[in-house]
A = this chain, B = another copy of it.
């Protein structure tokens, strides 16, 4: 079998670097076209020093013709807006597209417009776009032409919450769930900003974007898509002084009697037994982002506060891998029909 030819647009980003790190080990796919908003071809090793000398492919100006001729699958590592604009001609040319921006995470243009403050550039594509969280939508991803790769926080929160919502549709309340999340700084990407300046971010822990963060409606919309009922999660993201990792601590005030712990754990045990990239922590142990750093794994732990009639589910992921590029590769694996975890374990 010839290898799947991969194009990456937005090759300067950290997510592109991580995609390339995965592709280095991928037997069935290879990066053939790396593009970015550059004036002239640049050396990949200059842009991403860890990749120097390891991938023999320059980063060239964005050229749709080349992409359509040379690639089978294209990863878009662009800002929202430009991503959807580029997706349309790629799809028309028969390419399959995995978009790491937010452009294909919402099925309803109105939700997108509300969250991102602009009309969707390609609303006609939203119906067929699939939300690329394989643990929830594996079958749909397999056949998708366009996958909206999930946000990093939604990945962590949905893997904590969705299994319970499915198992206990009447007990998880429509409002009242609180998702406290802490992320490493790479979640903010490579663009320079005061918040991500080393001397500002180091040795500081700070909440930001509480309630208003754009990942909040993404979480709500996905849970609603799963259940058909509206659900609103209070989302409280924080920034921690580390490169990688998201820890989600999801508090679920329970409607009705709390299930016994073995029953609640059982939901996740079944899930983790079936899912190659999810791991349930032993009883009494919690998660740690460090244990999943540089992997595509998601660790899950469950506990309860019986006095408050509350379940607490914790997840930990690497925001750049399971929260972005690793998950994108997982989606590609499903789409091209190779083993789902190829290059990811």
Contacts and interface: CB of A to CB of B under 8 A. Distances in A.
Contacts of A287: 206-207
Q: Kindly report how many copies of this chain are found in the complex they form together.
A: 4
B238 A24 contact: no
Given A247-B205, A279-B52, A303-B211, A309 B185 contact: no
A160 to B, nearest CB: 12
B291 A234 contact: no
Interface residues of A, number: 75
A80 to B, nearest CB: 21
A236 B208 contact: no
Interface stretch (A89-97, A115-123, A192-200, A330-338): A192-200
A109 interface: no
Contacts of A345: 24, 54
Interface of A: 14, 24-25, 46, 49-50, 52-54, 175-176, 178, 180, 182, 184-186, 190, 192-194, 196-208, 210-211, 232, 234, 236, 238, 240-245, 247, 249, 251, 253, 279, 282, 286-295, 299, 301, 303-305, 307-310, 312, 314, 316, 345
Given A196-B197, A202-B202, 14 more contacts: A24-B345, A49-B291, A54-B345, A184-B203, A184-B205, A198-B241, A206-B247, A206-B286, A206-B316, A207-B286, A210-B303, A234-B305, A234-B308, A253-B253
